[in-house]
Amino acid sequence: MTTATPKLTMLRRSAAMAAAFAAMTVATTSFAAPVSSDAPSIAVRYDDLNLGTTAGVNALYHRIRNAASQVCPRPYTHDVKAFDDSRRCQASAIAEAVHSVNSSQLAALHAARISHG
């Protein structure tokens, strides 16, 4: 009996968590900056948005959530733990990106979204 598949799955989960943190770190400039060139990353631009408006904040939050779903995609399996790991990866990536932007409006939107599920 071989354990290569479980080890590979665990490695992928660990890599996804690390990639989420690296990919979603948003610089205080107008786009996301990758922390590590080894980890998958997605630039989240927001220089075209006015974060002083509800529409701008909503648009940025939508972009961050989309980027997190690309960096931490849901696995194509019925494994509940894999789905939970992906959900935690995305939640962590979103929270880190929101924190990095340092916008009270974005933080308030994020808090409202996580409190309502």
pLDDT in tens, 18-27: 444 444 444 3
Q: How far apart are CA 34 and CA 51, in angstroms?
A: 21
As a whole number of angstroms, the longest Cα–Cα distance in the chain is 58
CA angle 69, 29, 93 (to 5 degrees): 25
Tokens representing 42 are 């997605």
Residue extents of the structural domains in the chain:
4-25+39-115
pTM: 0.67
Chain-centroid distance, C-alpha 32: 11
Q: Which residue is associated with the tokens 């974060």?
A: 51
First vs last Cα of the chain: how many Å apart?
A: 41
pLDDT in tens, 7-41: 444 444 444 444 444 444 443 334 444 444 455 67
Q: Cα 56 from chain centroid?
A: 19
